[in-house]
Amino acid sequence: MTRYKIIVEYDGANFVGWQRQANAMSVQQALEEAVLGFSGETVRLFGAGRTDARVHALGQVAHFDLVREFTSDKVRDALNFYLRRHAAVVLAAEIVSPDFDARFSAIARHYLYRITDQRPPPALRRGRVWHAQGPLNTDAMHCAAQALVGKHDFTTFRAAQCQAPSPVRTMDLLAVSREETGEIHVRAKARAFLHHQIRSIVGSLHKVGLGRWAVPDIADALAACDRKRCGPVAPAEGLYLTGVDYPEAQD
């Protein structure tokens, strides 16, 4: 068996999320059908992160095994041929060691959340950015976000249906900035995230940006370990999985 690692970009608006579902198209299903199309082999494809419906990816990572061995370019190009009716593209493919695991070998995941607080609604970016009430004070949002960096119990900022055995996570980076385009970007990095963790945090930071919460209110909400202390969850369409890090020996 030969193990392949692929990097995938997709528009989440066209899928019910990463994971296979019985009644609608998922990213996992689209990719597995593409593998079957070019190789004739039925595979199970494993992703680095299970993105929800309408969440996008610029650098999702997945792996699968084939009996036959193909060149990396052949795998990439053949998958893209069979994916052409879907809003998904394989950016790169490579042969990796049999012990590589897209999910469990990952040492960090990077996410980006895009917000526009301009008064007119976006046209070309519709479905790809959160059109949020504003104007937002991004300096206050960034200052408040720093209380969430480090190792914490994130019970307040995870979905009620989250199945993770522990609410404790270590946030390596959480930064808020206004770009030259006027968009507000929230960047997050951690080894692993809880279900709806980033969207819950962004929704709470939005209240800080509006001045409805003071900067210390984020730290207070975190310390409460109470889901009821979380702000409204930000919509899915502003969220992007931008990349996944692995130990150098496994690249």
Is the model's pLDDT at 229 over the cut of 70? yes
Q: What is the CATH number of the domain that holds 145?
A: 3.30.70.660
Q: CA 37: distance to chain centroid?
A: 27
133 plus 180 within the same structural domain: yes
Residue 251 bears catalytic tag: no
pLDDT digits (tens, 9 = 90+) for 61-97: 999 999 999 999 999 999 999 999 999 999 999 999 9
Is the model's pLDDT at 249 over the cut of 90? no
pLDDT value for 122: 92
pLDDT value for 251: 44
Of 49, 83, 104, the domain-final residue? 104
pLDDT digits (tens, 9 = 90+) for 160-197: 888 899 999 999 999 999 999 999 999 999 999 999 99
pLDDT value for 7: 98
Task: Classify residue 249: in a domain, yes or no.
Answer: no
Pairing type for strands 130-131 and 108-116 reads: parallel
- Residue tagged active-site, from 11, 52, 77, 153: 52
pLDDT value for 191: 97
Is the model's pLDDT at 57 over the cut of 80? yes
Q: What is the CATH number of the domain that holds 52?
A: 3.30.70.580
118 plus 238 within the same structural domain: yes
Stretch 28-49: mean pLDDT, rounded? Answer: 96
Stretch 30-49: mean pLDDT, rounded? Answer: 96
Using alpha carbons, list the distances in angstroms from residue 14 to 3, 11, 140.
28, 6, 34
Q: From 46, 64, 44, 53, select the one nearest 11 (Cα to Cα).
A: 53
Is the model's pLDDT at 219 over the cut of 80? yes
pLDDT value for 23: 85
Count of domains in the chain?
2
Contact 188, 103 (CB under 8 A): no
159 plus 205 within the same structural domain: yes
